[in-house]
Amino acid sequence: MLIHKTLGEFIVENQSDFPHAKGDLTALLSSIKLAAKIVNREINKAGLVDIRGASGIENIQGEEQQKLDKYANEVFKNALIARGEVCGIASEEEDHYVFFDNQNSRNANYVVLMDPLDGSSNIDVNVSVGTIFSIYRRISPVGGPVSMEDFLQVGRKQVAAGYVVYGSSTMLVYTTGNGVHGFTYDPSIGVFCLSHEAMTFPKSGKIYSINEGNYSKFPLGVKKYIKYCQEEDDATNRPYTSRYIGSLVSDFHRNLLKGGIYIYPQTAQAPKGKLRLLYECNPMAFLAEQAGALATDGYTPILDLKPTALHQRVPFFTGSVDMMDTVHQFMKEYKE
Ligand code: P6P
């Protein structure tokens, strides 16, 4: 019987990934692992306890917070505070960044940005959802309070990023800049086991993920690309297959395994698109590039964009290199 390496063992084995860390990033990743187990437990019984449905509270995005959104936010915040490895957190569920004003946290080296439960509107219909996290070393002096500049760092400065996908099985996928590694949760022993070492995006694919209900509002380049995906052409394996779960983590995870492209573009009504740069696009872009794929706003690599606000949105294109090259050609040719 094969006994898989655990996430904990893998993190410790690969501590050399973060030379400047003194084991504190290891402890930080372990906090995230613990929080993921707790959130996973609640998601799996969401149908059984009064934790489903909307909380009646709106987050800064004006989106109704699902009760599990709020719950997941508290679980990750508390797990991170408990170990004193983090001096501050930014979250989709928090209007402003959260600064932990105790000496332990003041002396911490890292900030975490997260979407604690992305795609949460899917919970009540039993469709997979995810947690997304992004980790930076602080810029502000250790010992002092955290500052906004700690959170507004360019995506290439991330020291780690990852997601948890709560699906038919629960997986944690992360990178520290040395490849992308996937761990599948075994609830019978409460452990994340290494199941996908050194994950790589297929260079080409046949799956395109986009909400075609917004077709009429898309930029011309995106409209032209969608039609390209739908054309008959045996030489280039078209028409492609349309797959859209409505949960970024799930669509990204499937495309990472099978090849494909995910697009959430700008529209006339939402000129910056819907997805948030800091805690959705930057971490997913770090993973994409580490897995040999691309992530842009249709023109510029996501990781090169200089953030200006915690909750800013950007158009998001990510996936297999060949498919991204093609959509970039359309975006360039039909730039409005
Ligand atoms: P739409 C979920 O709300 C999310 O942020 C992503 O996870 C998902 O891909 C997208 O928005 C879905 O948005 O407008 O297609 O329902």
Write down the domain spans for the chain. Answer: 7-198, 207-334
Residue 105 has what pLDDT?
Answer: 86
Residue 136 has what pLDDT?
Answer: 97
Q: Which two tokens stand for residue 29?
A: 């990743």
Residue 104 has what pLDDT?
Answer: 83
Which of 264, 269, 284, 316 has most ligand 1 atoms within 8 Å of its beta carbon, as the pocket-test mutant? 264
Q: Indicate the Cα dihedral angle 17, 18, 24, 26, nearest 10°.
A: -20
Q: Is 274 in the pocket of ligand 1 (CB under 6 A)?
A: yes
- Residue 225 has φ and ψ, to the nearest 5°, of -70, -40
Residue 55 has what pLDDT?
Answer: 67
Task: Supply the DSSP string of 166-211, one letter for each residue.
Answer: ESSSEEEEEESSS-EEEEEEETTTTEEEEEESS----SS-SEEE--
- CATH of 207-334, picked from 1.10.10.10, 3.40.50.1980, 3.40.190.80, 3.40.50.720, is 3.40.190.80
* Dist. CA 88–CA 109, nearest whole Å: 10
Q: Is 123 in the pocket of ligand 1 (CB under 6 A)?
A: no
Q: Which two tokens stand for residue 321?
A: 């290199």
Q: Does residue 59 register a pLDDT over 90?
A: no
Residue 72 has what pLDDT?
Answer: 95
Residue 150 Cα to ligand 1 middle (Å): 27
Q: Does residue 328 register a pLDDT over 80?
A: yes
Q: What is the mean pLDDT of residues 191-197?
A: 95
Residue 329 has what pLDDT?
Answer: 98
Q: Report whether 80 contacts 95 (CB < 8 A).
A: no
Q: Is 211 in the pocket of ligand 1 (CB under 6 A)?
A: yes
Q: Report whether 118 contacts 132 (CB < 8 A).
A: yes
User: Which of 30-44, 204-218, 219-233 is the least confident region?
Assistant: 30-44
- Burial status of residue 235 (CB atoms within 10 A of its CB: 0-12, 13-18, 19 or more): exposed
* Dist. CA 121–CA 253, nearest whole Å: 18
CA 130 to chain centre: 8
Residue 210 Cα to ligand 1 middle (Å): 10
* pLDDT more than 90, % of the chain: 75
* Dist. CA 136–CA 139, nearest whole Å: 9
Summarize the annotated binding site for substrate as residue ranges.
Answer: 118-121, 211, 244, 274
For residue 185, which of 167, 203, 202 has the smallest C-alpha distance?
167
Q: What is the mean pLDDT of residues 29-54?
A: 80
Asked if ipTM goes beyond 0.90, one says: yes
Q: Report whether 200 contacts 302 (CB < 8 A).
A: no
CATH homologous superfamily, domain 7-198: Fructose-1,6-Bisphosphatase, subunit A, domain 1 (3.30.540.10)
Q: Report whether 42 contacts 68 (CB < 8 A).
A: yes
DSSP 233: B
Q: Is 119 in the pocket of ligand 1 (CB under 6 A)?
A: yes
